Amino acid sequence: MDPKEEIKVLEDSLAAITAKAKEFGLDFYDMFFEICPADILYTFGAYGMPTRFSHWSFGKAYHKMKTQYDYNLSRIYEMVINSDPCYAFLLEGNSIIQNKLVMAHVLGHCDFFKNNAYFKTTSRKMVESMAAAAERIREYEFKYGREKVESFIDAAIAIQEHIEPRVLIRKKAKAGPLQGKKEGCHRDVAPSPYDDLWSLEKDQQCQKDCSDKEKIFPPEPEKDLMLFIEQNSKDLDYWQRDIISVLRQEMLFFWPQMETKIMNEGWASYWHLRIMRELDLDESETIEFAKMHSGIIQTSRTRINPYTVGLKIFENIEKRWDNPTPEEKEKYGRPGGQGKEKIFEVRAGENDVSFLRNYLTKELVEQLDLYLYKKIGNEWKIVEQEWETVRDGIVTSLTNCGFPYITVQNADYNKRGDLYLKHSFEGIELDVYYVEKTIPHLYTLWRRPIHLETILDNKRIIFSYDGEKNCKKFL
Ligand SMILES: [Zn+2]
């Protein structure tokens, strides 16, 4: 097909697909599609965004993705950006039917971005903000030297997942710790013209409070390591704080996508199926579509396929709310016929953790053949198949997007400004090799010794780095 004709066919298909999606009740921002060659699309995929700053790690991700593509091992079926208007990219060389599927699929994503609660606070202008940040970082490289800037970015990237994504909750909790040294001590509160009127009474109370316990900062454990360092590390230059802030903002932007991966892909797959079934496909297109769809939902023995698991859960919810069992009717007062309504409600209010906890049933665990496994000796073995344990195990692995939960406990440990961190141990040990590679990066950001407490072999242990060497001691 000549390119002009192809564009015309795609435009007509997009109009039909968009009309169908709206008829089904999907609610999305205006959509713009662009056709890109593979190397450009893979660059976007590796960077996460077309306008992001450059860093060697993105090149590494690109190389891996592109190699898999060249060897036909894996394909990005889609690239869609959570922005208003929403941008999506189609792979040059895709067949018409592949592109139709991608269009229908990304409309589902865009509806999800717009309506899921966890995306409510994401910036929809991130394309522009990332472009502006990339420009500033280029200027820093010019001014301070590329190597210096790059190694600082390496350090910040090493801890970039340690943020607190619940922005609204954190504002309230934050007001105290970041302004003052100790909660409850009025000396730390900013002065006002009326202080004298009640200072005597407060002074007495304050002396008592202050002597009750040692002043520790932060007064409450702080999960947002990135923000804490950005605001409290003493010897950083302006450009370094800016880089931490940029990476944190970008992580806040990507976080909702990470914590709803299964739901979001399930939702998009649910809708590409429904929409494609409504289009007038001829026989060969129907076969090609069926092949593609089964490729997408192919299961693996060692990895959860978010497309399949998400899709099956949504279909199961729809079925159970459309045709409840007599028990469900009586016990939950479910009248039936509410399948559609229910799946829209679920897509608006849940994330992967609550989605799986609430809607992954015994029937689904069996049907999807889900199990827990681990390495015993040199072999991977299935260790659990009981459905509730499997469900809980998967939920645990998704909590905090699968990253260890680490908090700042004390920013003046040993009374010399050392940073003391604690890992909330929930049964999974930290990777010692990773710890010993990461804490020197933290030292680069904090400029003073770093200590990290965790549990290893059922014993409390502290890993430390003093600027020269790693050491560890059991408590
Ligand atoms: Zn998708």
Separation of alpha carbons 113 and 120, rounded Å: 8
Same domain, 310 and 368: yes
pLDDT value at position 187? 38
| pLDDT reported for residue 172 | 46
Distance 268 CA to ligand 1 centre (A): 6
Q: Is the same domain home to 382 and 443?
A: no
- Which pLDDT belongs to residue 174? 46
- Of the residues 295, 319, 345, which one is the last residue of a structural domain? 295
**Has residue 134 been placed in a domain?**
no
- CA 345 to ligand 1 centroid distance, Å: 20
The pLDDT value given to residue 186: 37
Task: Compute the distance from residue 330 Cα to the ligand 1 centre, in Å.
Answer: 37
Q: Is residue 416 part of a domain?
A: yes
Query: Are both 286 and 375 inside the same structural domain?
Result: no
Q: How far is the CA of 79 from the centre of ligand 1 (A)?
A: 8
Q: Is the Cα dihedral 247, 249, 253, 259 positive or negative?
A: positive
The CA 110 to ligand 1 mean position distance, Å, reads 10
Find all residues with CB under 8 Å of 299, minimum gap 6, and list them: 305, 308, 368, 369
| Cα(114) to centroid(ligand 1), Å | 15
Residue 389 Cα, ligand 1 centroid: separation in angstroms? 28
Tell me, yes or no, whether 353 lies in a domain. Answer: yes
Taken as a whole, the chain contains a residue count of 475
Cα 289 to ligand 1 centroid, rounded to whole Å: 16
Give the C-alpha separation, 397 to 169, whole Å.
23
User: How far away, in angstroms, is 175 Cα from ligand 1 center?
Assistant: 38
Distance 105 CA to ligand 1 centre (A): 6
The residue among 353, 382, 400 that closes a domain is 400
Based on the fold, state whether residues 392 and 312 are members of the same structural domain: yes
Residues 84 and 23 in one domain: yes
How many Å apart are CA 55 and CA 141, to the nearest integer? 12
Statement to judge: residues 376 and 279 lie in one domain: no
Q: Ligand 1 centre from 19 Cα, in Å?
A: 20
Question: What is residue 49's predicted lDDT score, i.e. its pLDDT?
Answer: 77
Please give the distance, rounded to the nearest whole angstrom, from the Cα atom of residue 253 to the centre of ligand 1: 17
Answer whether residue 154 is part of any domain: no
Q: Rounded distance, CA 59 to CA 67, Å?
A: 12
C-alpha gyration radius of the chain: 26
* pLDDT value, residue 65: 67
Report the sign of the C-alpha dihedral through residues 362, 364, 366, 369, in that order. Answer: negative
* Rounded distance from Cα 191 to ligand 1 centre (Å): 52
401: left (phi over 0), alpha (psi -120 to 50) or beta: left
Q: How far is the CA of 36 from the centre of ligand 1 (A)?
A: 17
From the CA of 258, how far away is ligand 1's center (Å)?
12
What averages of pLDDT result for each successive group of 10 residues across the chain (475 residues)? 88 96 98 88 80 77 68 64 92 88 95 97 91 95 97 96 77 42 38 42 51 77 97 96 96 94 96 94 92 84 89 97 94 94 98 97 93 83 88 94 96 96 94 96 97 97 97 95
Distance 342 CA to ligand 1 centre (A): 21
Write out the H or E segment, with its range, that includes residue 406: strand 406-413
Residue 466 Cα to ligand 1 midpoint, Å, equals 44
Strand partners, 453: 422, 462
pTM of the model: 0.87
- Pair 375, 271 in one domain: no
Is 159 part of any domain?
A: no
Specify whether 302 is located in the same domain as 391: yes
Domain boundary among 339, 372, 400: 400
How far does residue 228's CA lie from ligand 1's centre (Å)? 34
pLDDT value at position 72? Answer: 53
Q: Which whole-number Å values give the CA distances from 462 to 454, 455, 472, in the listed order?
A: 6, 9, 5
- Residues 350, 409 within the same domain: no
- 266 Cα: distance to centroid of ligand 1 (angstroms): 8
Give the pLDDT of residue 40: 84
**What is the pLDDT, as a whole number, of residue 205?**
53
Residues 426 and 396 in one domain: no
Is 181 a member of any domain?
no
| CA 331 to ligand 1 centroid distance, Å | 36
- Domain around 103: 3-116+260-295
Q: What secondary structure does DSSP assign to 61-73, as a single string? A: HHHHHHHHHHTTS
User: Do both 391 and 424 map to the same domain?
Assistant: no
157 CA distance to ligand 1 centroid (A)? 25
Residues 25 and 41 in one domain: yes
Is residue 457 in a domain?
yes
Query: Max CA-CA distance within the chain?
Result: 86
Res 77: pLDDT: 64
* Count of domains forming the chain: 3
Q: How far is the CA of 267 from the centre of ligand 1 (A)?
A: 8
pLDDT at 179: 37
Q: Do the domain assignments include residue 235?
A: no
